[in-house]
């Protein structure tokens, strides 16, 4: 039985201007979801709609979530911090602004994806030193703010979970841990947007070995939360003539922005081995912490694709995943 508490990213509840944060918060709560990741653009839109400062908006959103018994799992996502060529003092000043907002929200984590700039500095000692300083800054808040570090499939020097784990172990701070995401695992090891079947030739073997490694080596206390989503097979395959082609973004980034439905939504083209990834984390490793459904579905840009509809999709997906892992007779214990 899946005993994890379920969260959802605010972006995964709608992407139209009419899909504002209060509607998303109510949709998540009404569907029985227990937590939410607040994304910066959603908070910024809320502040603009209410002629409020970002801090005031964050405090109002915190109260809205508290009224609906919705935990704010994370504030996302503070990007391209470590290995950036801007002065560290400038980056730490910006980090403090983000941490102030996360604190005002009452978020448990500030999410930090590994740097994906093409000119990101890869020096390990430098990266570890900068992330330690970020962690120490986050630790000065009360309650202590946790930093959730995430490898992206297109991160410049950290595209695998093993590399992210090594960074976490080297930083060696209690409030610095991992956010791992099934989409990035699948895109790095298994999926291929350039071929008709959407699969790397040796993808099954690479994924199997990686997940076996994960079960053996990943410390549970360093995994702060898990994100799950699926991915659509691209048809046509990705190329310069593809309607989504963007020369400024990595192919995986384009894929992520447009075609990440909820897990197991085969009717929408989902085909990635999310079940196998979830099995490794939730069953074999025995992770009992938060699971967040983070999807980026182009369909949600339409006004009629409403937040409650998307929240119901998320719950249906989560229950289907539980059935796949444990059989249809077993009920999921917690949303």
In the three-class reduction of DSSP (H, G, I as helix; E, B as strand; rest coil), residue 63 is classed as helix
Instruction: Specify the number of domains making up the chain.
Output: 1
Q: What mean pLDDT is predicted for residues 15-40? A: 98
- For residue range 40-71, list pLDDT tens digits in order: 999 999 999 999 999 999 999 999 999 999 99
- Does some domain include residue 240? yes
pLDDT for 330? 40
Question: Residue 135 is encoded by which pair of tokens?
Answer: 């962690």
Answer whether residue 3 is part of any domain. no
Q: Is residue 331 part of a domain?
A: no
The string of pLDDT tens digits covering residues 240-255 is 999 999 999 999 999 9
Q: How confident is the model at residue 3 (pLDDT cuts 50, 70, 90)?
A: confident
Residue whose entry in the numeric block shows the structure tokens 């339409």: 302
pTM above 0.75, yes or no: yes
The helix (run of H) or strand (run of E) holding residue 69 is: none
Which residue in the block uniquely carries the two structure tokens 């499939």?
153
Category of 83 on φ-ψ map: left (φ > 0), alpha (ψ -120 to 50) or beta = left
Q: With contact defined as beta carbons under 8 Å apart, do 305 and 299 qualify?
A: yes
pLDDT digits (tens, 9 = 90+) for 269-322: 999 999 999 999 999 999 999 999 999 999 999 999 999 999 999 999 999 999
| pLDDT tens digits along 64-93 | 999 999 999 999 999 999 999 999 999 999
Q: What CA–CA distance (Å, rounded) separates 124 from 102?
A: 27
Q: What is the CATH number of the domain that holds 232?
A: 3.20.20.150
Inside any domain, residue 62: yes
Q: Is residue 80 part of a domain?
A: yes
Q: Is residue 5 part of a domain?
A: no
For the chain, the average pLDDT equals 96
pLDDT for position 333: 39
Q: What is the CA radius of gyration of the chain?
A: 19
The answer to whether 263 and 226 are in contact (CB under 8 A) is no
- Per-residue confidence band for 2, with pLDDT thresholds at 50, 70 and 90: confident
For residue 14, is it left (φ>0), alpha (ψ between -120 and 50) or beta? left
Predicted confidence at residue 27, as pLDDT, reads 98
CB distance 147 to 186 below 8 Å: no
Shortest CA distance to 179 belongs to which of 144, 222, 214, 137?
A: 222
| Predicted local distance difference test score (pLDDT) of residue 329 | 38
- Rounded CA separation 179/15 (Å): 23
C-beta contacts of 27-31 below 8 A and 24+ residues apart? 27/306, 27/307, 27/308, 27/310, 27/311, 28/68, 28/70, 28/307, 28/311, 29/68, 29/69, 29/70, 30/308, 30/311, 31/308, 31/311, 31/312, 31/314, 31/315, 31/335
Residue 127, in any domain of the structure? yes
Instruction: Please report the pLDDT score of residue 332 as a whole number.
Output: 38
Structural domain of 229 = 10-325
Beta-carbon count within 10 A of 331 CB: 11
Q: Which two tokens stand for residue 260?
A: 């990440």
Any domain includes 333: no
Residue with tokens 């560290």: 88
């Amino acid at each position: 039985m899946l005993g994890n508490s379920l969260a959802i990213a605010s972006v995964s509840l709608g992407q139209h201007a009419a899909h504002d944060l209060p509607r998303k918060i109510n949709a998540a709560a009404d569907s029985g979801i227990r937590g939410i990741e607040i994304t910066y653009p959603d908070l910024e839109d809320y502040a603009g709609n209410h002629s409020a400062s970002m801090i005031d908006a964050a405090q109002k959103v915190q109260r809205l979530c508290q009224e609906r018994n919705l935990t704010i799992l994370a504030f996302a996502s503070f990007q391209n911090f470590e290995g950036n060529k801007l002065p560290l003092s400038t980056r730490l000043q910006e980090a403090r602004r983000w941490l102030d907002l996360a604190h005002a929200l009452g978020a448990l984590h500030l999410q930090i994806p590994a740097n994906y700039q093409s000119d990101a500095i890869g020096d390990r000692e430098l990266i570890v030193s900068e992330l330690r300083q970020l962690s120490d800054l986050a630790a000065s808040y009360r309650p202590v703010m946790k930093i959730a570090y995430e490898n992206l499939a297109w991160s410049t020097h950290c595209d695998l979970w093993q590399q992210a784990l090594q960074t976490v172990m080297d930083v060696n701070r209690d409030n610095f841990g991992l956010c791992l995401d099934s989409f990035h695992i699948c895109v790095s090891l298994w999926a291929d947007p350039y071929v008709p079947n959407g699969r790397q030739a040796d993808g099954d073997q690479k994924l199997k070995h990686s997940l076996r490694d994960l079960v053996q080596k990943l410390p549970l206390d360093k995994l702060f939360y898990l994100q799950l989503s699926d991915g659509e097979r691209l048809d046509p395959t990705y190329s310069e003539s593809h309607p989504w082609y963007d020369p400024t973004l990595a192919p995986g980034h384009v894929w992520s922005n447009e075609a990440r439905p909820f897990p197991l939504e085969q009717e929408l083209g989902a085909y990635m081995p999310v079940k196998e990834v979830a099995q490794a984390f939730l069953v074999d490793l025995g992770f009992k912490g938060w699971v967040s459904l983070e999807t980026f579905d182009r369909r949600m840009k339409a006004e009629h694709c409403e937040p409650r509809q998307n929240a119901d999709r998320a719950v249906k997906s989560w229950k289907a995943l539980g059935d796949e892992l444990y059989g249809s007779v077993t009920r999921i214990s917690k949303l």
